Amino acid sequence: MKQGIKNLLEPKLLFGVAFVYTLLITIALLLPITGVPKIESIPFLDKIIHFIINALLFLVWASYAFSRKLKGVKPFNLQLLFICILIYGILIEVIQESLIPTRSADIFDVLANFCGLILGSLVVKVSNKFIY
């Protein structure tokens, strides 16, 4: 059982998961949307999705960083990861506004991304004691 869990924490596997996840959300966020009905039964669904996407994005990349056993991931590394993912989210919004005619930028999406990153970083801090 322990070996199976250890295999899930291998750096190559976690890098692949993080890379594919990042690629998929990038594609999903940059695809033009046409003819998609709005789901108005759940208020702020778009913001909830941004929140969850960014929390998971931080978790998968932090897991990869921890799996490399860099003599214990320093808080600076996690802060840098936080900033990089936040900039990534801002760039996605800028690209949506300027290059995708059917999409627009929303400052509240960036705020939801930021809140998701905070949740992701808190989960990493708490779980770090138990997993690594």
Mind listing the pLDDT tens digit for each residue in 47-70?
999 999 999 999 999 988 887 765
- Determine the Cα–Cα distance for residues 132 and 128; give it in Å rounded to an integer: 6
pLDDT < 50 positions in the chain: 1, 4
Q: What average pLDDT is seen over the chain?
A: 85
Burial 24-46, CB ≥16 within 10 A → b, else e: ebeeebeeeeeeeeeeeeeeeee
CA-based diameter of the chain, in Å? 50
The residue with tokens 């976690």 is: 14
Which residues 6+ apart lie within 8 Å of 15 measured at CB?
Answer: 64
Burial 60-79, CB ≥16 within 10 A → b, else e: bbbbbbbbeeeeebeeeebe
Please tell me the predicted confidence (pLDDT) of residue 1.
Answer: 47
CB 11 within 8 A of CB 68: yes
Please tell me the predicted confidence (pLDDT) of residue 44.
Answer: 84
The residue with tokens 């750096």 is: 11
